[in-house]
Structure 1
Amino acid sequence: MSGVTNLTVLVDDEPTPDGWIKIGKDLNAGAGGAYLYFAYEQGSGAPITNIIFLLSKDESAPPSYHRIDVDLNKGAGGAYIYTAFTREAHLGSPIEDLDVILGDNSGIQPQAPWRRIDVDLNKGAGGKYVYLVYRNA
């Protein structure tokens, strides 16, 4: 089984690391600011089991979580939003795949079996409603 084993945020034209998958949907869609994209790695290593969003530039990630130090509203105003993830098995089920959905209202939902993480990644910046969605193994 291969799951999502690593996650990062690419800024502007930063190249996608070798072997990684870039989700080609701008996290600042319609809000201006930097072009930001999630990229992830899949493999046979320890899979990511939970992804959370920290809503302050000073908020530390909980124990066992890795914080990605890129503000998801970089250059667009709005709330500070940082991504953190863990591979701890007791904190969730292995994540098999990731995507981003964009919409004109907060009610957008992915089709099953995908699940939405309920934090608008454009919060306070205007533009599209942007959500990270995932599928468990």
Structure 2
Amino acid sequence: MPSNTDNDCITDITVYIEEGDPTKVKMKEQKLSKDGFIQIPVNLTKRADGYKMYMWYKKGNDKPITNIQFSFSDDMNKGLKEAGYKKVEANLNYKTGGDPLHLWYKRGPSKGESPITDLFVTTEQQAAPQLYQLGWDRLACNMKRGTSASRIFLWVKRREQTYISEIRATAGFQDDANQFQDGFFRVDENTNEGAGGDKVFLWYKLTTNPDEALADLSVSVSEAEGKNLTEQGFQKVSQDLNAGTGGSPINVWYQKKNGSKPIKTFTLIDGPLYKLPCQRAGLQVIDKNLNEGNTGAFQYLCFYQ
């Protein structure tokens, strides 16, 4: 279990691929340690063909990192660059044949973006949804995306408790830079994965004030369900998560209720296999497949209060 006793913030992240001359690999590791980097002791390759890959991070109090994003296509890179994110050059899918996957980070601070104080990595066998109960937040992108290897996820912990204050969704990538610059974070998983159609992504904004937080989320997969949610006082995220697939419109809905328990985080999970562990850990899993009516991967929205 990761430590949560150090109040210093993450100020730098790198990924080192251990390949080639063992002596040179050892020297590089020693240099990283001498420069103040700490290794996360989880091999990110999940392979046995002669190389390993590890994430390293540095702590301090100067220019802390406030957000981490992933990209797995050239289209995703442009908005991150324009919004001032820094790219970690190592391909997290190096030699796997999977999507070229890169980590990006942004230094703050800015309103609602509490600095990141710790990082942790879990494998598929250590999915650990109970980490939400300890104040951790799992980033949605599988770091072995597009491969047959076991899934690997990055978790972050922040200096202050944060809450979800707004949710949006976009189709395509042309507005990414504006979303980032408006203080929104992207959920780095296409809701139309495997279904064709548009590339659709959910976005969220954070706040450290629980009074500004959303209190409930829902999903509609039919016009009748949307009408029912409207009558209950929910507001619709206008972007159809099923756009371009030929299936019925699918929308996310949210609600703010004074005095209700605030939503701390939300994410996407894929496949029914992961629903029960998340529910046991206290997450609310919305039992509506975001690819209802098409041939895409099963995806569910879940949130933690």
Q: Structures share a fold, TM > 0.5?
A: yes
Identical positions, percent? 23
Partner residue, 1:49: 215
User: Separation in 1 of the partners of 2:191 and 2:198?
Assistant: 9
| Alignment match of 1:37 (pick from 201, 214, 217) | 201
State the TM-score, normalized to the length of structure 1: 0.84
User: Separation in 2 of the partners of 1:122 and 1:93?
Assistant: 29
| Alignment match of 1:23 (pick from 187, 191, 214) | 187
User: Separation in 1 of the partners of 2:233 and 2:185?
Assistant: 24
The structural deviation recorded for 1:63 is 4.5
Partner residue, 2:290: 121
Partner residue, 1:99: 267
| Alignment match of 1:76 (pick from 245, 248, 253) | 245
The structural deviation recorded for 1:57 is 4.8
User: Separation in 2 of the partners of 1:117 and 1:46?
Assistant: 22
User: Separation in 2 of the partners of 1:62 and 1:86?
Assistant: 12
* Range with bigger deviation, 127-136 or 9-18: 9-18
Where 2:264 maps in the other structure, the secondary structure is strand
Partner residue, 1:5: 165
RMSD of aligned Cα (Å)? 2.0
The structural deviation recorded for 1:56 is 2.9
Q: Gaps (5+ residues) in structure 2?
A: 1-160
**Higher helix fraction: Structure 1 or Structure 2?**
2
Larger Cα-atom Rg: 2
Partner residue, 1:108: 274
State the TM-score, normalized to the length of structure 2: 0.40
Question: Once the two structures are superposed, what CA deviation does each residue of 1:75-108 show, in whole Å capped at 9, x if it has no partner?
Answer: 0122221111100146x521101111123xx343
Where 1:108 maps in the other structure, the secondary structure is helix
Superposed structure 1 runs of 4+ greater than 6 Å apart = none
**Higher strand fraction: Structure 1 or Structure 2?**
1
Identify which of structures 1 and 2 has the higher relative contact order when contacts are C-alpha pairs closer than 8 Å and 6+ apart: 1
> Alignment length, in residue pairs?
133
Q: Gaps (5+ residues) in structure 1?
A: none
